[in-house]
Amino acid sequence: MIHPIPPGTRDVLPDEMRELRRLKAALIEVFEDRGYGEVATPAIEYDEVMARADGPTRSGYRFFDQSGELLTLRSDMTVPIARLVATRFASGEPPFRFSYLASGYRAVRPQRGQMREFVQAGVELIGASAEEGTVEVIEVLEAALDAAGLGRAVIGLGDADLYRQLLEELGVEGEARDAILASLATHDLVALEQRLLDAGIGAERAQTCVQLTQLRGGKEVLEAARGLGGAAVERATTQLSETFGELERRGAADRVQIDLGLLRDLGYYSGAILEVYDPAVGHVLGGGGRYDGLMKQFGLDLSAAGFALYLDRVHTAQLEEARRG
């Protein structure tokens, strides 16, 4: 008798579970070693609390409880931890460091390998200064990738505010700006160029913007970007250059790729953003960055940074890397 489970969910059997448990243990050990104590929060929260973080991160699973309260399944751990810090540590002395291994829930199109229930492993660093925070989080991420045996994995480092500020500088706003940011998020360069032209900024500037999205690599891309000019580019490259310089001083820059085309679609990011790739697999293993505005939504004026790795994708990458010997 077959009793189905909803698409986008799955059972885990002992062979896989053993491997996952080893991976989880290795990651948690890295996090704890670096002072990121593990926390757990409920999978169900009040919808009103989760909705404080604006942006397209809502889980898509909302329901009423027996007394008519609107509840939601968490879509990630960043917002619950922001809630936890604001509630339990408001009078504490920052910075706060937490780690987690927890499932999140998102509405996805099934049959695409996307899961509606997925496990993430990650850290949150709340209340450290912007610069140091980003660098520390990248170092923890590198240690986590090493612990998972993904020595070839690469971390993309970009700036979430670059294009919003650049478009403001160019006087593009409203629907035109939103359409441009949407084609940036999907990296549709053909539509991007057309929409930039439609916004009336001129062919040369449109070209420049498109070129900017293609700059990725080592420190040399910052020089190339500066050559394209503008205040927004200057601010973003200066900040990226400082972060990258600090990573270099600590010997942690080798696997970091500066990427001016990076734009994550989670609404709460500001400043540095991260994405994780492994050469053996075609999808992104995880990501993160800074979200300085998020804590303010919970009444604490603290900067924050973190990352989350999708456990199953890291596991897949381990398998693919092993296959390649």
Partner 1 sequence: MADGPLKLAVPRGALFGETLDILDAAGVDTSELRGDSRSLIFHTSGMTLVTMRPSDVPTYVESGAADVGITGKDVLLEQADRVVYELLDLGFGRCRMVLAAQTGNDRLGEAQRRLGMLRIATKYPRIAEGYFESTGRQVELIEVKGSVELAPLVGLGDGIVDLVATGRTLEENELEVREEIVECTARFVANRVAHKLRSAEIDELTAKLREASAR
CA distance 159 to 237: 9
Say if residue 95 is preceded by a cis peptide, omega within 30 of 0. Answer: yes
Among 92, 151, 200, 279, binds partner 1 (CB under 8 A): 279
Distance, CA of 234 to chain centre: 23
Residue tagged 């990226």 (tokens) = 240
Q: Is 132 helix (H, G, I), strand (E, B) or coil?
A: helix
Identified binder of partner 1 from the candidate list 217, 229, 245, 299, rule CB under 8 A: 217
CB-wise, 86 or 281, nearer to partner 1?
Answer: 281
**How many other CB atoms sit within 10 Å of the CB of residue 116?**
19
- Kindly state whether residue 156 participates in binding partner 1, applying the rule CB under 8 A: yes
User: Least distance to partner 1 from the beta carbon of 182, Å?
Assistant: 12
Contacts of 214 (CB under 8 A, 6+ apart): 189, 261
Residue choice 3, 5, 109, 204 for contact with partner 1 (CB under 8 A):
109
x/- letters, 75..104, toward partner 1 (CB under 8 A):
------------------------------
Quick check: 75 and 104 in contact, CB under 8 A? yes
- Grouping H, G, I as helix, E, B as strand and the rest as coil, residue 58 is coil
**Cα–Cα distance list, 192 to 174, 179, 206 (Å):** 16, 8, 9
For partner 1, which stretch binds (CB under 8 A), given 168-176, 244-252, 272-280, 297-305? 272-280
283 near partner 1, rule: CB under 8 A: yes
Selected range binding partner 1 among 76-84, 88-96, 243-251, 271-279, rule: CB under 8 A: 271-279
Residue closer to partner 1 (CB basis): 3 or 112? 112
| Minimum gap (Å) between residue 266 Cβ and partner 1 | 15
Binding residues for partner 1, per CB under 8 A?
Answer: 109, 112, 152, 154, 156, 186-191, 214, 216-217, 257, 259, 275, 277-284, 324
